[in-house]
Amino acid sequence: MKSFLAHLFATTPKTAQLGHEESERVTQNLMMAYAVENSEIAMYESLATVAAAAGDAETERLARDIQAQEDATAGKVFAMIPAAAARSFQQLAGARETRSA
C-alpha cells in the first residue's frame, strides 16, 4: 500500500502538467527539481543530527558532505528558474498576441 501511494503521489505533479506548453513544463520541472533537492537537504540534516546524537562522526561528516552537494545543486536549479519562467511568459504572450490578431 505504501508503494502504491508513493507511486500515485509521485505522478501527481506530472499529471498537473497535462495540456501545458513545453516552456511551462520546463519551468514546472525546475520547480519540482528544486523542491526535491531541498527535501534531500532536509533528509541529510536529519541523518547528520541522528548520527551526531549517536556519536557516529563518520556518518555525520558524510551526511554533511552530501548535504552540501545537494545545496549546491539546489542553488544551480534555482538560478535557472527565472530565465525559464521569463521564456515561458514570452512564448505564451507571443502565442496569445498571434491568436488575437
Comparing 34 with 100, which gets the higher pLDDT?
Answer: 34
Per-residue model confidence as pLDDT tens digits over 39-94: 999 999 999 999 999 999 999 999 999 999 999 999 999 999 999 999 999 988 87
User: For residue 89, which amino acid is it?
Assistant: F
> In the structure, what pLDDT confidence band is assigned to residue 18 with cuts at 50, 70 and 90?
very low
* pLDDT at residue 93, rounded to an integer: 85
The pLDDT of residue 94: 79
CA separation for the pair 78, 92 (Å, rounded): 22
How far is Cα 87 from Cα 85, in angstroms, rounded to an integer? 5
Residue 2 has pLDDT above 70, yes or no: no
Q: What is the pTM of this model?
A: 0.71
Output helix, strand, coil percentages for the chain, rounded to the nearest 5. Answer: 90, 0, 10
Assess whether pLDDT exceeds 80 at residue 9.
Answer: no
